[in-house]
Amino acid sequence: MAKSYYDPADLRKFGKITEWSEELGNKFFDYYGKVFEEGALSAREKSLIALAVSHVVKCPYCIDAYTKDGLQRGITKEEMMEAVHAGAAIESGATLVHGVQMMNKYDKLSM
């Protein structure tokens, strides 16, 4: 067994998940492929969204994949970092907005 939970080489093997469940695996990859096609949003914009989400869900495979995807699309490092901040801002905002719940509870419990 691998000595760590994440192995970069596993990313290339992603497609193998279909081997243990062909129908669901194929449905997922069809869906995935379709999502990232040009649409109302450009493939470039979707690549940046994917990069931001990759950070929020803290997926090292996805971060590798969408950093490379961004480079291939000519996306600059400034654009990439802004996308990461957009994700981080929502994530920290989601934490902080719970501060209101804390304040409500505090006030309710206090005389």
Q: Tell me: does residue 13 bind another protein (CB under 8 A).
A: no
How far is Cα 86 from Cα 88, in angstroms, rounded to an integer?
A: 5
Structure tokens at 40: 């109302």
- For residues 73, 79, 85, 91, the Cα torsion angle rounded to the nearest 10 degrees is -30
Q: Which stretch binds another protein (CB under 8 A): 25-33, 64-72, 86-94, 100-108?
A: 64-72
Q: Tell me: does residue 104 bind another protein (CB under 8 A).
A: no
- Minimum separation from the CB atom of position 23 to another protein (A): 23
Evaluate whether 56 touches 64 at the Cβ level (below 8 Å).
no
- Minimum separation from the CB atom of position 29 to another protein (A): 14
Instruction: Among 5, 74, 99, 101, indicate the residue that binds another protein (CB under 8 A).
Output: 74
How far is Cα 91 from Cα 63, in angstroms, rounded to an integer?
A: 16
Instruction: Among 6, 22, 26, 73, indicate the residue that binds another protein (CB under 8 A).
Output: 73
Alpha carbon 37 to its chain centroid, in Å, reads 17
Binding site for another protein (CB under 8 A): 8, 12, 43-44, 68, 71-74, 76
